[in-house]
Structure 1
Amino acid sequence: MRILGTVRGQWRAFGVVWLIVAFAAVFAAGQVAKREAEGDALRQARAATALHAAVLRSELERHRSLPMVLAQDPDIQALLRDANPSAVDRLNRKLEGLARETRAAVIYALDTDGLALAASNWREPISFVGSDYRFRPYFHEAMRDGQASFFALGTVSNRPGLYLAKRVTDANGRALGVIVAKVEFDALEADWRASGEPTYVTDGDGVVLITTVSKWRFHTTGELGADRRRRLAVDQTAGRADLSTLPFDALTPGMISLSRDVPSDTYARVSAPIPELGWSLHLLQPAGTTITRAVLSARVLALLSVALLAGLTGVLLRRRQRAHARAVEEEAARAELERQIDLRTIELRTANDRLSHEIDERKRLEKNRQDLHDELIQANKLATLGQIAAGVAHEINQPVAAIRTHADTAGVYLQRSDADAAARQLSRIGELTERVGAITDELRAFSRKTRSGPVAVSVEAAIDGALMLAGARLRERGVTLERTPGQPDLMVKAERNRLEQVVLNLLQNAIEAVEGVPSPRILISVETKGRKVVVSVADNGPGLSETVRDRLFTPFTTDKPDGLGLGLVISRDIVAGFGGELVHDDAGPGATFRIILPGAK
């Protein structure tokens, strides 16, 4: 019962919380959607306003140049100087054609008293010819300042339009009168009206001049002062319009509602300046329906999202209640699992100890194998030294005997007090001693047990060392040695003594291979192939037998009666340790072995 009461309390709290969350989410989603929809409407309105303003500026620029050009016309100047009937008739017809071509509402010329002498509408009942316009502000401003612009209702046509006036002067700068062009915006208003976006243009006082809603013309965006109202009445700018304010109710910034004249709705209002005339263009973007739909969609989506989250939370709550009911069983299972884990951990620890022991044993065996390999290489060195020992001893005995002879000779010269002759003998002794030292140094370096990583080694130096040790045997066997011109700066990645051991092994094998061959010859060459350096040792002996060639680098494979068959195997392992290869080439007569090593920069 206690658990049942707790469950019921949880569900009651769950329902209350999610009702509050649903109300808050629906309200917040509606507000956010409303702000976003208003922002979208304002952005669309700005784009449309910029387009409308560009069209209006283009229309104004097209007509503003007309009075300036006409002020220079000789016919107009002549008429204003002498208004004879023939000149009036000629100018009336000329202005009529110009108005038709430029799509101006009317073009007319005023004398210095404001009387219209000629006009493009001279044929019409509402002809301006003979009318007095001295009361119009644009006449006085043009006479005073040279040019003027003024928007008003026509006193004769009662049609609104923009009057663009320019003073006409003679060659001496004397004022002759004023030329005026009236521009009406009916076509522009019709184009704007077709877009479905209420648009209007106001002057600096907020009076509506151009509009897609005809009822708004000469209304104001705010209250006008008494002076401004009186001036508008005197100028007859707005006719009998009451100059009341526009039917706008401000909402949020940039958003308004209309109370009459157009379908009631919420609009985004955006303005753009027309600095040429001090005007402002205003555009109303319908946004009420869009905002309502956006708010409704956002609220429905928020409600669905809350319902979904509430459902998921309810499922989680139900699972939590079930999980709580299974807690005791899981605790027992957890204890059993921990026990099993402890047992398994002990087994894994035992296996790990056994594996560590095996790894240590493998490392020890690997070290023993490497030590055995190094001992085998050293034994091969010593065996090679044993083979060349007799020749090296002969090389040393000759200088030693010569040293004894020169020493005795030097003693005789000293008894005779012939110091110069004795010095020559001692100098010769020094040269022979250096030769013996070079041979013994090479023997000592070659026999040293070394092991290091590959470094930059001179190929020519390694070959020179091997030839110093094998030179005596070559001369003893009468073998002709041919060697290609060397490159002293050619370096490879190797270890000096071991590379020298490989070259010496190949020389020893070549010397034995040419034994009994007429004109025995050995060729040593060095060449580069890309990033590789190839050292070749070739002889003109009988070559390798087919049996030996098939198993050449297999241990204990040899065709020598007293050979072990390990020299080439050891040499190949040494070269492989440098990252290179030792290969046999049986393309030509005799045997050719190539040492291929990576070059060192």
Structure 2
Amino acid sequence: MSTSVMQRAAIIFVFLGAVAAASAGVWRYAYLQALDQLERQGRSDLALASDRLVGQLKRFGELAVFLADHPLSAELAQGNGAQAAEALFLDVADKSDALDVLFVDKNGRVVAAARGPAGTDLSQTDYVKRAGQGALGWGHGIAKPLTQRAFYYAAPSFGADRKVNGAVVVAAGMDGIEDAWRGGLRTVFFTDARGQVFVTNRSELVLWQRPPEGPGLVPPQGAAPAFDSYETGGHEIWQLGWGPYLPQDALHLVQDLPIIGLTGEVLVDVAPARQLAQLQATVVAALCLAFGALLFLATERRRTLARANAQLEDRVARRTTALSEINEALRQEVTDRKEAQTALAQAQAELVQASKLSALGKMSAGISHELNQPLMAIRSFAENAALFLERGKPDRATENLGRISDMSRRMGRIIKNLRAFSTQQSEPISRVDLNAVLVSAVEMIADRAAKMGASIEFDPLGHPVWVRGGEVRLGQVFVNLMTNALDAMTDAPTRILRVRVVEGESVKVAIADTGPGVSDPDKVFDPFYSTKEVGASEGMGLGLSISYGIMQSFGGEIRVRNDPTGAVFTVEIRPWVAQEAA
């Protein structure tokens, strides 16, 4: 074997080792990045599940507080009315889906119960002790005198001397709560202070216990299934062998819920993260190998060209000429693309303005009515004011003049909204009062809704809701969505447009209608996609696409889904924070 061949073989082996090391590094980095993203998604899902559980349990606590002030509670404390109370408790338990409702005297003994027998002693339970101290008590465990898992709320009942004379206990059955969210995409479970699984959306994990020697869970009976855990990049990974409905390798996240004395935990499957990391590592390895192969071929070609340089000079010249022509063609293509992008941006701006003017055209009759009505009222009030002045009644004249002023302000507000809506502008992102934008949008479509017999359910918030955006473009988005909702309800027997604002980490506006719903939610934001009839004056299929682009420019998002009553469009907007202003 010649020295040249040995050198090339050594270079190839070194290159392959470098490619393997680079691929491993990319895989590790991509895997940790994917785990970070999974952790954010998992924590969001866990927070949502936790809020849902707390909200479901809280209503039973409110029920206990309500029943504690019932007149029957005072009679039960005096040893009377047990039969009537049991009938009431049974009716309340049936209607509220409570496992049991009962009343205990100040000694902690059950006097009346919806389902369990009277006489049971609950004086040693923590929730009854706390109720005996005059506070709302809560706890969990196996329901006494029943045998099901339950969460208890005990509300103290006070006598005329303002001393505790008993307590109303409401037991919320966990089976009914779990049925509402069993089988979710994420494996979520809630453990108590002893580490026992008390609530979960996976029935096979109920009452599993945290082992004393470390993380994981073991069943209450039988041998413990395969389990192992390790940490990577600050993430805790569980390796499970717990059945086909739980992931084999899962990211374990924890959230404390001191308000109900439980700890929320979620298991997020890391298989997608590994697949993504594997794909990125494979791509890097393929690119490196392709580059190495090209480099090797180029080197070999150079050797060959060096030996045959004299014969190939003419061919190189022809290739250089061809490359120059290609380069010139590429420059021309870049110029054409820039011109096309400029034309596209201008066309999009014109489409936005056309969409707004189209909406104004639809509402022209309602606008005329909205302006004509206050004008007629102003004329009538002015004539009445003159008559009152002639009759020597300046107070009544002043009242009519005040009404004229109110009508003028109303007309000014309508004209201001129309002028702002119709103006073609692209204002910078700033602080916008979402509440005011929604009020203006509802005013603009109110007359059209009234003419088609549709009612609008919208209760403006009593305070400003500051978000990131532009007032005009946000108004266009909401007018477009509300107009589409009215179009969808044209042939509906019931026409109700609901607008609701939900504040949180992000501000959400839900616009729901009672129409037939969206037939293909995945395509509804595509340009030129429309459910309206072909050839109609409206329905170009650009309104939702433009609205979607506007919300993305603000860092927001629009989603659509169908519910049993119709379609629901949800607009998610980033709230305005002081750091952004700075």
Instruction: Tell me which interval the TM-score lies in, with the shorter structure as reference length.
Output: 0.3 to 0.5
Q: Which has the larger radius of gyration?
A: 1
Q: TM-score, normalised by structure 1?
A: 0.46
Q: Taking structure 2 as the reference length, what is the TM-score of the superposition?
A: 0.47
